[in-house]
Structure 1
Amino acid sequence: MRFLSVWLVTLAVSGPALAGVVWRGDFETGNRSQYSGVQMVSADRLQVVTSPVAEGRYALKATVVQGDDPIDSSGNRNELFHLSNETAGTEYYYRWKVMFAPDYPSERAWQVFTQWHHDGCCGSPPVEFHVYGEEMRLTLTSSVTPWTAPLTRGVWHEFIFHVKWSADANTGFIELWHNREKVVPRTNLATMYAGTKNYLKLGLYRKDTIVPVGVVYHDAFIKGTQLADVLPPAPPDAGTPPPDAGTPDAGLPPAEPDPSTPAPEAPTSGGETTPGGTPETGESPPGGVPEIIESGTNTGIGCSAAGSPLAALALLGLLGALRARYRR
């Protein structure tokens, strides 16, 4: 009886946590069935492979050859898409890993490897992770680039992207971790276009003037409502790091070591064409890198439901009555 009383009071006061994994696109089915569809010229352009992999047993190998244009668009592509239908006001964490082949082309033109596209027909996606020359970039609404980093080939890059979807720059925000280091603090930005919904696309989409074959690998995509939902479980023998271990960002464990992968090779020389910029039109270049401004205090990661203290007192009263009745 006492055990039951303690459990009921704890449940009433704490309440259930409203969190969880929303979707996985990690290819652990051994095929592309986790995704809504494909845009590809042939099956060999989007292959589920067993090597190299970042986590689990499978990963995606995306290949683009000049002329690959399955939807008669402004660029060349082979992509998967997931009709996730992110709507204004929703907030999620996304984690995934990407590796660029050792001979990945160096071109001063856009090469998109992950994007959240709007459900309208035309224009640049509101969120795109892309390569330009020897840089990886994150660009939003085709005009703001809050993050760039050197392109490194032959190693896995882990991204954790926290976003609140909104066309209002005062409401929408992003945070970004690269290899467990926070590289973009919480920053208010427009993350979608007004009156639209966003959906995920990954693979490779690039300007059609690029000649060399491009290969990029994707793995471990997961979407959740809290940061803890998208992080992989710690290995059994990981142990507890000392207090002064100095992890890159509080609350994030260090990234797991990558499986054996080919050593990075020197980048190949690229063309000298002007920036292609917006992928869907290929006309105007991406915007510059603005100063990143830390917004106000974060109101919390994810959400939880807490029971009322009055509910706990009511439960205690009920249990007291049950005890009295039991004594009689």
Structure 2
Amino acid sequence: MLRRALALCAFALAVPAGAQASVVFDGDLDTGNLSQWGLQQMCSPDRATVYSAASQPTWPKPISGSHALRFRVLDSDVSPCTPTRNPRAQIANSASSPGAFQHGHERWQRFSVYFPAGFPKFMDSSSSDQWFVFQEDYGAPWNGSPPISFGVVNDQVIAARGAQYGYDWVWSKPLQRDHWYTFIVHKRFAKDSSGFVELWLDGVQQRFSPRPYGQAARDAGVTRLSTQTMHSDATGPYQFFLNSYRSRGSASGAVDAYYDGAKVGTTRADVEASAPAPAPAPAPAPVTAPSAAFTFAPTAPKRGQLVQFDASASKNAASYSWSLDGYTTLTGVRPTFKFQNAGTKKVTLTVTASDGKKSSVARSLVVS
């Protein structure tokens, strides 16, 4: 798996100087273009599209900031427009930038990747070498597979080591399509076994289980994988790559994948996405002053006859209080009462709003 020699025949763009605390590389794409990326390699400019939710409303909404990237790679995207026989498009930070990796550097990386519905399974077997790489750190002399790369094989998202470790899988998860994966990687870059890798996926720390290529995990593994993270013959700094790189013939037609939020720093806090500001508490709705109103039936009751009062025509009332001739008190919207004596009765309704404001109305009722 991932067997190839990578030689870069790419054009370089100046990386803007961006001293932002200990963030050593910011590739979040929120410039609206690829100007943050010092290296861009693809067979045609339309293979890499930086987009926003407004410009491409049917594509996955960017998960970090305002813009994301779509790589679209065809099976024909091979030499001579790329140096190898396998299709690819890729971008990287500049090898001369502060974000490049040297032996002994300890760095934190964040990036997000999205595989749409219909993304191939890349089923690998002894007769069919199929793989897809979406992130790697690599550098001169570009000899063989990188020490650590993230990819898709056998419908799983994987981390794999290079030839010096027998292309073994050190981590894998079943592939979930139509989902933004966010990776946070803590890595010590080293040409020897003093290197290490730690991984968080969607905020959850993962466990590594080194095992032979393609085989199931042997045990629960470790959260820190001690491993060589640069080739021992590395002649220069390593660079941070986002790739759409696959084995030729493993997919028919175009293969799309989406990327966002790439950042490299010296601490975890440097690369973690800022929590969105909490939404301001909604202003309390203004309370309109209450207005009391009521009816009663029958309108000319007799002694001992049940009278139904109805205050449902009142406005903005939270509670209802009734006074009958100043002696009897009732509550509720539709209370009833029997007058035992004839005469003119004064009925007063007082309604109270939720803010404590009151309104009253009085009516006379003649009982015969």
What are structure 1's unaligned runs of at least 5 residues? 1-17, 240-328
Equivalent position amino acid for 2:239 in 1 = Y
Please state if 1:75 is matched with 2:86. yes
Given candidates 172, 193, 217, the residue that maps to 2:258 is 217
- Contact persistence 2:112–2:262 (CA under 8 A): yes
- Report Cα offsets for 1:48-100 as digits up to 9, x if no partner: 01132111111000011111122230311011122343111000000111001
Given candidates 229, 234, 242, the residue that maps to 1:191 is 229
Query: Equivalent residue for 1:20?
Result: 22
Larger RCO, structure (CA 8 Å, separation 6 or more): 1
Given candidates 103, 111, 121, the residue that maps to 2:118 is 103
- Contact persistence 1:81–1:202 (CA under 8 A): yes
In structure 1, distance between residues paired with 2:198 and 2:89: 28
In structure 2, distance between residues paired with 1:118 and 1:106: 28
In structure 2, distance between residues paired with 1:150 and 1:50: 28
Given candidates 137, 140, 156, the residue that maps to 1:116 is 137
Question: How is 1:15-94 mapped onto 2 (pairs within 5 angstroms)?
Answer: 20-51=22-53, 52=60, 53-69=62-78, 70-83=81-94, 84-94=99-109
- TM-fit CA distance, 1:140: 2.3
Query: Equivalent residue for 1:167?
Result: 191
Question: How is 1:272-287 mapped onto 2 (pairs within 5 angstroms)?
Answer: none
- Report Cα offsets for 1:97-134 as digits up to 9, x if no partner: 10011111122211001111121133111221010021
Equivalent position amino acid for 1:129 in 2 = F
Equivalent position amino acid for 2:43 in 1 = V
Query: Equivalent residue for 1:255?
Result: none
Local SS of the residue matching 1:44:
helix
In structure 2, distance between residues paired with 1:87 and 1:236: 36
Local SS of the residue matching 1:86:
coil
Query: Equivalent residue for 1:176?
Result: 199
Q: Give the aligned CA root-mean-square deviation in angstroms.
A: 1.9
In structure 2, distance between residues paired with 1:19 and 1:221: 16
- TM-fit CA distance, 1:220: 0.4
- Contact persistence 1:19–1:225 (CA under 8 A): no
- Contact persistence 2:25–2:93 (CA under 8 A): no
- TM-fit CA distance, 1:235: 2.4
Q: TM-score, normalised by structure 2?
A: 0.57
Query: Equivalent residue for 2:247?
Result: 207
- Report Cα offsets for 1:23-56 as digits up to 9, x if no partner: 1001000000100121111111101011321111
Equivalent position amino acid for 2:224 in 1 = R
Q: Which deviates further from its counterpart, 77-86 or 46-55?
A: 77-86
Determine which structure has more spread, i.e. the larger CA radius of gyration. Answer: 2
Local SS of the residue matching 2:75:
coil
- Contact persistence 1:19–1:226 (CA under 8 A): no
In structure 1, distance between residues paired with 2:177 and 2:51: 18
In structure 2, distance between residues paired with 1:30 and 1:42: 18
- TM-fit CA distance, 1:238: 8.4
- Contact persistence 1:203–1:216 (CA under 8 A): no
Local SS of the residue matching 1:228:
helix
- Contact persistence 1:141–1:192 (CA under 8 A): no
Query: Equivalent residue for 1:150?
Result: 174
Equivalent position amino acid for 2:110 in 1 = R
Q: How many residues align?
A: 221
- Contact persistence 1:114–1:128 (CA under 8 A): yes
Distance 1:238 1:138, change over 3 A: farther
Local SS of the residue matching 1:35:
coil
- Report Cα offsets for 1:225-253 as digits up to 9, x if no partner: 111111122222289xxxxxxxxxxxxxx
In structure 2, distance between residues paired with 1:200 and 1:119: 13
- TM-fit CA distance, 1:19: 6.1
- Report Cα offsets for 1:275-307 as digits up to 9, x if no partner: xxxxxxxxxxxxxxxxxxxxxxxxxxxxxxxxx
- Contact persistence 1:141–1:191 (CA under 8 A): no
Q: Which deviates further from its counterpart, 216-225 or 111-120?
A: 111-120
- Contact persistence 2:26–2:264 (CA under 8 A): yes
Percent identity between the two aligned chains: 31
Local SS of the residue matching 1:75:
coil
In structure 2, distance between residues paired with 1:25 and 1:91: 19
